[in-house]
Amino acid sequence: MLCMSQPKDITAARLWTVFAKAHRAVSGRVDESVARHGLCLSDFMALEVLLHKGPLTIGEIGARVLLTSGSMTAAVDRLEKMALVRRGFTQNDRRARVIHLTPKGRRLAKTVFDAHLQDLEALMGILDSTERSELHRLLKKLGLSAVAERQKA
């Protein structure tokens, strides 16, 4: 007979359920953090990568934020209408368009990113340094294993 103080074995199905619920809850908070500044998450992610990596093509932005070319094109279209980014040509390939932050876009990206970092710190504040390190290690281990298994198939 199991004593109540002993942890019971957690099945993969139960772990997935807890992981999915936690992801949904945290994602909701992230969406709210960004929405306070009038942006959706894909728009913010595009601005953030341009802020930290400089001008990129739509494909490069999409690869960095894990969104499809179509989703990134829609995001860049929205950001361009808000005068936050501008499209330019590359020197090497006149067909490729490079996305640049405008001064207004740079200011907004910096403001939203700084506020977003504070929101994330508040959200993750429930975890101490050791717990954060352990969670990071375990999530990375799980993710790398999933990628490796997918590549085998």
pLDDT in tens, 61-70: 999 998 888 8
**pLDDT for residue 1:** 45
**To which H or E segment does residue 85 belong?**
strand 85-89
**Which position has the token pair 């992610």?**
45
Most confident of 56-60, 79-83, 92-96: 79-83
Least Cα distance to 52 among 42, 39, 65 occurs for: 65
Q: How far apart are CA 112 and CA 110, in angstroms?
A: 6
**pLDDT for residue 121:** 96
Length of the chain: 153
Question: Tell me: the pLDDT tens digits for 91-146?
Answer: 777 777 899 999 999 999 999 999 999 999 999 999 999 999 999 999 999 999 99
**pLDDT for residue 6:** 52
The encoded tokens of residue 113 equal 């990113």
CATH class of 39-152: mainly alpha
pLDDT, mean of residues 79-93: 89
- Mean pLDDT for the chain overall: 91
Question: Tell me: the pLDDT tens digits for 1-32?
Answer: 445 555 678 999 999 999 999 999 999 999 99
